[in-house]
Structure 1
Amino acid sequence: TAFILAKGLKADEIILVTDADGIMTADPKIVNNPQRIKVIDVATLVGLADSGSKFIHRKALKYKDPSINVRVISNNHSCLHQQGTIITGALPKEIEAEMANAAPVASIRIIGQDLQNQPEVVWEFIDKIRNYTALLGLSLDEDSLVAFAAEKENLHELLNSIHEIVLKQNKVIAMSVRRNLAFIRIRGLGLEETPGIIGNISEPLRLNNINIFGILTNTSSVLLFVSWENKDKALNLIRSSLGLEKR
């Protein structure tokens, strides 16, 4: 209600008065000494709501105007000028499907044993990729670790660097790579609560013989990797299946 009224009144700011000093780094009921977050974007706040924080219902956030900041303050100080937490930005009005990376992506996998309990392997793997290029996605299970990284001209150097992990770490057996993948991101408020959303994304690709080389979910986003040569067709099929206009 506050968000709708503020937009109608063309307000400069919304002030939400609560029993807390703002939005905190963690729930004070489960950790000691949580700190106040000074500024937080709406997209990040949605992530907190999805993880169990009930301070602001995430469905209400879709009504926030991007030009009007929200300041969350405590009712303990009897002053509307206290700092609190500033909420900025706005959420997409609908589900969006887009190319998340303009260049091809490589899928790099290391195979081993009990990798989820080998933090030194995971850290070294991530560190080598980050020193070379952007890390776009990561998946870990008991016997494999997969990273999706933006390709650059000297990819061979990165692969040789990662191969050193294979030779050095006893729990790592081998590595593989798949190049020329396209990174597609589907996002929208409440996407993870939309029944059948993964099927709506994957089924049209299956029917058109487009293979999915990786799929990751993260709160209100689905990250998808297909072959680079199929990127335009895949994106249009997904948009059509979700009822979105082609762009």
Structure 2
Amino acid sequence: MTLLDKDGVHVTAEGEVATVTLTNPARRNAQTPATWRALAEAGRVLPGLIRVVVLRAEGKSFSAGLDRRAFEPEGIEGELSFLDLARRTDAELDAAVAEYQQAFTWWRRPDLVSIAAVQGHAIGAGFQLALACDLRVCAHDVQFAMRETSLGLVPDLAGTHPLVGLVGYARALEICATGRFVHADEAERVGLANLVVDAAQLEGAVTDLAAALLASPRDAVIETKALLAGAGARSYDEQRAAERAAQARRLRDLAGLGE
């Protein structure tokens, strides 16, 4: 079932799995504000029964990042040039970037598990989109890079928090400040990639992972995700208490005593 098809973003649902596909391979799935609006809308149109969301891209590249036309004086047709955006007030500029970030923030919703299937280039905004997901399955040809700092900018699409969480502050700083490529072997070693496979096996590996995620009861996965997502902000004793509370809810639910 097709849920959305606009501005280079195609969303389908089958059973408990939704698939969000970037569909502009001719431009290596370069992203524009229209792409971001469509990606934000993708999160809003998902049926309530969806448990797993797969993010994939057509062509050889996952996403080459921001469409550079956004920095040209004439900008992208129908969109405000970033050069013009820079001349807006602080409040207007902040609101614009906050709107762009909405495309990157819903992928870690507590009721979903999201998987990015990443091949080829995942640069800048493409890297941050892959980081937005809970899990990443990568082809051997993957090339991650955070090029914003090299261009005089900063990563501002909600990618810095998950990057530091995955690889630590020092490595995240080095990756961002140098803008270098992170290839598949390093991505797997440092925790950016959950799994690395041949490009021909990427779709099958993601399908298998989705099936494994669906094998456990939904509420148990939701509770476990919440426990793990909040662990970094809790003390050891607070985490133990959170585990006890979550387990009590699960036991009562299994015993038919839930609300």
TM-score, scaled to structure 1:
0.25
Q: As a proportion of its length, which structure holds more helix?
A: 2
Higher relative contact order (CA 8 A, sep 6+): 1
Bigger Rg, which one: 1
Q: As a proportion of its length, which structure holds more strand?
A: 1
TM-score, scaled to structure 2:
0.24
